[in-house]
Amino acid sequence: MNRRLQGLYAITEDRALSAGEACVAVEAALRGGASLVQYRDKSGDHRRRLAAATALRVLCTRYRVPLLINDDVELARAVGADGVHLGRDDLDVRQARARLPDHSLIGVSCYNRFELAQRAVDAGADYVAFGSFFASPTKPQAVAATPDLLRRARTELSVPTVAIGGISPENGAALV
């Protein structure tokens, strides 16, 4: 297993965060043990997103923790991020891999569908993510995934699996 893909995977809130706000939140997660950070901002404010991603890149480098950019291969390239996390409406894994440096990490959201995960692995994904496991204010309409899906993925897939969606210190132990 890729040693960079173990442990707590922190995802920034899906709202417009300034560079300073993003760094404060992410540094708290890093101090708390996050071993991977995903910058997620669906807004169209390119300058703010670039500033925040650049600041997070510096912070994550200082902590020696990989930074992934959600959905935006070009932003990942621009800030020298360690990779991207792709959803259903993004580039496919092969297209993203062609646009990024060879060592880049690529993860794929597979929701509650094992067959999407298998296709992502076959295409060269470094990890797959399932969820939502719990209600999430970020994605209130997200499909529900079950712990059985994580068990199956761990047994049948050759890449790490990430659980996402409404996970907190209070409910996360059941997924670990």
Residue 5 tokens read as 């893909």
Residue type, 56: L
40 annotated active-site: yes
> DSSP strand E in the chain: where?
8-11, 34-39, 67-70, 83-86, 105-109, 127-130, 161-163
Give yes or no: 109 in active site: yes
Of 4, 49, 97, 109, which residue is the catalytic one? 109
How many Å apart are CA 10 and CA 13, to the nearest integer? Answer: 10
Q: Which of 48, 113, 119, 139 is an active site residue?
A: 139
Q: Could you confirm whether 152 is annotated as catalytic?
A: no
- List 40, 49, 57, 97, catalytic entry: 40
Of 6, 64, 52, give the one whose Cα is nearest residue 25.
52
Active site residues: 40, 109, 139
